[in-house]
Amino acid sequence: MQVSMKLEMKDAPGQLVAALTPISEVGGNIIAVIHQHDPKHLSGTIDVQIMLELPEKNLEKLIGLIRSKGVTILRIGEERLLIRHSIILIGHLIHTDLTDTVDRIDETGFAEVAELHMVMPAITEPSSAKITIKSASEADMDRALDILRDVAGQKQLLMIETMEDHA
């Protein structure tokens, strides 16, 4: 199973390694770690987001091991949207209401926009955005992409689909 966690730990050398070591001890595999050291943070703690895979039966053991290292688990959840697909939109994205475009995917309940990276060269020039959509299944991803194709057509946006697999 894939699990996402948000951890809080002391901002001190060795704390990140101490928090991550239990993952391998329970047969887990780290997919991603997001950690940014900010020396200006006044609380003396840092937040770390982790995405990992592990056997479902080992989740409770992992939680105990992480807590035994003095690490606080702020959030934990099973990742239900495992299929990812990125597309590029080019056109007057802001003038055609980018929020509406994102909402049309997010409000489906079976897919959501997980990432959005945008470039706006000038107010009168077309913008471009890389949008990553996540869904629970290939069929849901196909439905979400169909919705996005319709929206792009209505708003006269160029949609470029990447040559990646959905998974």
Q: Tell me the CATH number at 33.
A: 3.30.70.260
14 Rama sector, left if φ>0, alpha if ψ -120 to 50, beta otherwise: left
Could you tell me the residue range of the domain that residue 99 belongs to?
83-161
Mean local confidence (pLDDT), 71-94: 83
* Mean pLDDT, residues 37-65: 82
Asked if the model's pLDDT at residue 80 lies above 70, the reply is no
Lowest mean pLDDT among 47-51, 63-67, 125-129, 130-134: 47-51
Residue 167 in domain: no
The span from the CA of 40 to the CA of 79, in Å, is 32
| pLDDT bucket at 90, cuts 50 / 70 / 90 | very high
* Per-residue confidence (pLDDT) for residue 114, from 0 to 100: 84
Give yes or no: residues 87 and 73 share one domain: no
Q: Which residue in 159, 8, 157, 143 sits closest to 75, CA to CA?
A: 8
In a domain, 42, yes or no: yes
Q: How many domains does the chain have?
A: 2
Mean pLDDT of all residues in 18-39: 84
132 within some domain: yes
pTM: 0.53
DSSP class of 151:
H
**Ranges 103-112, 125-134, 157-166: which has the least confidence:** 157-166
73 and 88 share a domain? no
Give 128-156 pLDDT, tens digit per residue.
999 999 887 788 899 999 999 999 999 99
